[in-house]
Amino acid sequence: MCQNLNIRIHIKNKERARKEKSEDKELCCKGDIQMFTVDLQAVQTIPLLSTGANYFKTKLCVHQFTIYNEFDKNVNCYVWHEAEGGMDSNVFTSCLLDFLEKLEDKSKPIIIYSDGCCAQNRNVTLSNALQQYAITHHAEIQQKYLVVGHTQMECDSVHASIERKKKGRELYVPADFNTVINQSRLSQPYRVNYLKHTFFRDFSQINYLKSIRPGTKKGDPCVVDLRALKYTLNDGVQYKLCFDEEWNILPHYKLRPQVQHNDDLVIPGLYNQPLPISKRKYEDLQDLKRMIPADYHSFYDNLPTQ
């Protein structure tokens, strides 16, 4: 009986989240809001070779973070490999904030849909950065999270088209993956941002929030229970545990006037140098060079190693 009840609640939450997204999409099509969906593509491994001899070799991991504009269908792809950046919250925050800062129109409310992955989309680092953005630009931003197991979004079609274009091809270096992305939609090509370690920023000095947990004591709701967050100039950071409830102020929010009025706040770099790969991976990549054209060998020779 209890299991059936949980299933019904899960289905209800899924349908409500889909309804919320559909309603926001209508507002976006009318031009009332700006709406984006964001997601990380499955990890790519480079080099991608047709020969089976490389199967047991460790390869370089390449990451691709997708931002899909629901209004004009433009797609921004942020691409980096593991020697240039990691997979922590500062990395994903750097990508999203770079995109938001480049928006031509910052006056309309912004709604961002994603899954609930804590490292990418539901963490205090991103929330602090979005609150700083809301204050600096007098903007309103909402993050909305789809239900686990039902996170299909427009980004998925982007990833699928990239995978189709990649099929049957050999990719020797990460830049070859950028070419695949550029060719995956000819009518409106995806925009590729190929990132170096100098791109990523450290947002830890922004501290409106110590935590985005909506509760303060044992038994209270946790971060994974959040369904939506809202960032505004005057009302702080607010949350919802379900889409039908009213907005509530996060208990850990603290307005900091010295940050609020500092429009020249400089966010330091996250890395001082490229990230070293493991010795074993470096050796495997060196061994794989015999299957790669010589023009690409210098890329692997210059990778930092432990």
**pLDDT at res. 255:** 61
CA trace torsion 199, 205, 206, 210 (10° rounding): 120
The backbone torsions φ and ψ at residue 301, rounded to the nearest 5 degrees and listed phi first, read: -65, -30
* Average pLDDT over every residue of 257-280: 80
Instruction: Please determine, for residue 259, whether its predicted confidence score (pLDDT) is greater than 50.
Output: no
Instruction: Please determine, for residue 184, whether its predicted confidence score (pLDDT) is greater than 80.
Output: yes
DSSP letter string, 217-243 = STTS--GGG--EEEE-SSS-EEEESST
Residue 162 located in a structural domain: yes
The tally of domains found in the chain comes to 1
Instruction: Please determine, for residue 201, whether its predicted confidence score (pLDDT) is greater than 90.
Output: yes
Look up the domain containing 181 and give its range.
Answer: 2-301
* Average pLDDT over every residue of 34-58: 90
The DSSP output letter for 40 is: E
Q: Show the tokens assigned to 277.
A: 């790969």
Q: What single-letter amino acid sits at 297?
A: H
Strand locations in 106-162 (E): 110-114, 141-145
Residue 142 located in a structural domain: yes
Residue 287 located in a structural domain: yes
Buried b / exposed e over 204-228, threshold 16 CB at 10 Å, is: eebebbeebbbbeeeeeeebeebbb
Query: Kind of pairing, strands 60-69 and 44-46?
Result: antiparallel
The DSSP output letter for 111 is: E
The backbone torsions φ and ψ at residue 113, rounded to the nearest 5 degrees and listed phi first, read: -100, 140
Residue 23 located in a structural domain: yes
Residue 306 located in a structural domain: no
* Average pLDDT over every residue of 255-265: 55
For the entire predicted model, the pTM comes to 0.93
- Residue in 206, 50, 189 with CA at minimum distance from that of residue 126: 206
